[in-house]
Amino acid sequence: MAQWIQHEDGYWQWLGPENVQAIFTTRQGGVSLPPYDTWNLSFGVPDAPEAVVANRIQALGCLNASLDQLIMAEQVHGAQVSWVGPGDAPAGAYSPQTSVPGADGLLTQGTGIVLGMGFADCVPIFLADSAGRTAGLLHAGWRGTVRGVQEEAVWHLKRQGINPENLHVGIGPSIGPCCYEVDETVAQEFRAVMGDHAPLTPGVRSGHYQLDLWEANRWRLEQLGVPGENIDVAGVCTACHSGQFFSHRRDRGRTGRMGGYICLRA
């Protein structure tokens, strides 16, 4: 069964199907200055662009890959999933303007490219088929989760003849139910989609709830036909571990982004 392991080099690795490489970086090991110290992977925060490029080169080195192989998504907290291939690289590698527009999910069957996104509490979802011929990466905050970015990805894969029963999923480090309190408006969105299965527990404040995004995405994927034993949840909260992860909520927006990266071995 797939699992998550932490490397001394400062990243987590999802051990998915053979021929698939997937990592999730931490905040330690790069060159960025506070409050983006030190391994910020995003141009979307006011970090020095040259630092971001240097940090991305270092992160991609963990996969024996280069910037010229990187394809990034725009990430708009939606449910759009886009297929990409070698002809699309490098999209978003050197500036945010060239990222795949409108996408919060990327899928590929091409070797020699790396799918990438930035995260700082939202859920990174890594996908691969059992044969190791298709890979995907999804960005699922509460909006992407409830709007069905995982459902959109499975729909695209089914159109390519990939049965959900043959999918493996790695749900990486993100904000956990211990630290993610939402209001009634957000809670209602989840009840509308998940009914009694909405993973909500009473929060500290009246009219607020602790939301479990790990469980929400796991449940939705199972409902789409992905076997539960094929879904591996890291269960590591980004907000709890300030020395290891950036957290948008904990740091009130003044923070960097970890990187999620996945590729098919050539």
- 8 pLDDT tier (thresholds 50, 70, 90): confident
Rounded distance between C-alpha atoms, residue 183 and residue 188, angstroms: 9
Residue 7 is assigned to a structural domain of this protein: yes
State what percent of residues in the chain have pLDDT above 70: 99
Query: In sequence order, what E strands does the chain have?
Result: 3-7, 11-15, 20-25, 70-72, 81-83, 105-108, 114-119, 123-129, 135-140, 167-171, 181-183, 200-202, 208-211, 231-233, 258-264
pLDDT number for residue 201:
96
CATH of the domain at 173: 3.60.140.10
- 1 pLDDT tier (thresholds 50, 70, 90): very low
Rounded distance between C-alpha atoms, residue 100 and residue 1, angstroms: 32
pLDDT number for residue 116:
97
pLDDT number for residue 195:
97
142-162 confidence digits (pLDDT tens): 999 999 999 999 999 999 999
39-81 confidence digits (pLDDT tens): 999 999 999 999 999 999 999 999 999 999 999 999 999 999 9
Residue 191 is assigned to a structural domain of this protein: no
Instruction: Report whether 197 contacts 212 (CB < 8 A).
Output: no
- Mean pLDDT in the chain? 96
pLDDT number for residue 243:
95
Number of domains in the chain: 1
Q: Is the pLDDT reported for residue 238 higher than 80?
A: yes
State what percent of residues in the chain have pLDDT above 90: 91
Domain containing 111 equals 3-177+231-264
Residue 205 is assigned to a structural domain of this protein: no
Instruction: Give me the mean pLDDT over the 250-259 stretch.
Output: 97
Q: Is the pLDDT reported for residue 220 higher than 70?
A: yes
- 233 pLDDT tier (thresholds 50, 70, 90): very high
121 by Cβ neighbours in 10 Å (0-12 / 13-18 / 19+) ranks as buried
168-180 confidence digits (pLDDT tens): 999 999 999 999 9
74-113 confidence digits (pLDDT tens): 999 999 999 999 888 888 888 888 899 999 999 999 998 9
Instruction: Show the tokens assigned to 130.
Output: 């059992």
